[in-house]
Amino acid sequence: MPPKRADEIDEKVGLPKIHVFGVPMDLGQQRRGVDMGPSAIRYAELHDTLINLGYTVRDHGNIRVPNAEEIRSRGRRSAGSYPRQGNAVFHMNAVVEVCTEIRDKVSKTVPVDDITICLGGDHSIALGTISAANMRNPRGVLWVDAHADFNTPETSPSGNAHGMPLAALFGDGAPEMIAVSAGHELSASQVVMIGLRSIDPQERLRLRNAGIAVFTMADIDEHGMAAIARQAIERLSVWDGLHVSLDMDALDPEAAPGVGTPERGGLTTREGHLLMELLAQSGLVRSMDLVEVNPIIDRQNTTAELAVELTASLFGQRTL
């Protein structure tokens, strides 16, 4: 469907402008392909979908991200060599550089009353996006993911940076990663996690000790998404808006087959939409990550299309 012309759109009073940034980064993991996520999501008509909801949308293009081969050709083996050595984080220097660029560009470019959507790329980009969101005023964070991403270099079995951004945002982990959010670290009361079902052993202990509100898939199965979503919104409503960090692997692989790290037993399409719809009703959402779409292993761009559909629900699309 072509986008509506400006004179065809029913104007919504006070509707903020949406700013879109692509971050084509797959350096936070060892499976290639999520660097093409921003292109796949754009191809699935994110821009036109938001326009048809009545928004003004500005796409700022992509943040510059080096690829793995480029890093190795520079001789930066300590940041990107394989196999892992000690507690090394693969490509850490490059990941930190990109996340710092995200933080600075978003915080300097987007007016405080506008909305930001960052397209990944792997979930390590959240180190930059959430730092930017939290810089002006502390913001609540809803982390929707199959994984906690709460490892440090010492606890990570893989050394992959996409399993560490939330820990770094709490000020825990590699000093280089912690520095991205220095002075704007998260507290436990700022974060709610939904959809977890695959957590590393040491990460599980760290998460329990951190005091973060966590709703696993077992909780959703037992209590239902509506009850869980309302609890999350109530907990986070005390903050100055919400940042939704949506990893598409939170969805079951039957619904979202093209993701960086698929895990069976995830959210159904309807559960995902219900969560987004209730968030839309809250009126609290100010920024969003949309990450881990991997077109290489997808089926006819199904996962990117679902990502766009969920984003539409988050920003007000409804049946009636």
Q: What DSSP assignment string belongs to 247-293?
A: EGGGB-TTT---BSS--SS-B-HHHHHHHHHHHHHHT-EEEEEEE-B
Rg of the chain over Cα atoms, rounded to whole angstroms, equals 18
**Would you say 302 and 256 are in contact if contact means Cβ atoms under 8 Å apart?**
yes
Q: Are 19 and 115 in contact (CB under 8 A)?
A: yes
The number of residues in the chain equals 320
Catalytic residue among 26, 122, 292, 298: 292
60 catalytic residue (yes or no): no
Residue 91: active-site member? no
Catalytically annotated residue among 97, 247, 298, 305? 247
- What are the CA-CA distances from residue 142 to residues 27, 90, 232, 234 (Å)? 24, 26, 8, 12
Q: Is 149 a catalytic residue?
A: yes
Among 250, 26, 204, 246, CA closest to 124? 26
From the candidates 26, 35, 45, 145, give the one annotated as an active-site residue. 145
Tell me, yes or no, if 8 is annotated catalytic. no
Return the exposure string of 191-230: e unless at least 16 CB atoms fall within 10 Å of the residue's CB, then b. Answer: bbbbbbbbbbeebeebbeebebebbbbebbeeeebeebbe
Indicate which residue of 200, 203, 249, 305 is catalytic. Answer: 249
The active-site residue out of 149, 263, 271, 298 is 149
Annotated catalytic residue 122: no
Q: Which of 162, 184, 243, 273 is catalytic?
A: 162
- 304 neighbors 43 (Cβ within 8 angstroms): yes
Judge whether 10 counts as a catalytic residue: no
Q: Which of 19, 47, 91, 147 is catalytic?
A: 147
Q: Cβ(49)–Cβ(308) under 8 Å?
A: yes
Note if 185 is an active site residue: no
Is 11 in the active site? no
Annotated catalytic residue, options 47, 123, 184, 273: 123
Return the residue matching tokens 């270099």. 153
Residue located via tokens 């699309």: 317
Residue numbers annotated as active site: 123, 145, 147, 149, 162, 247, 249, 292
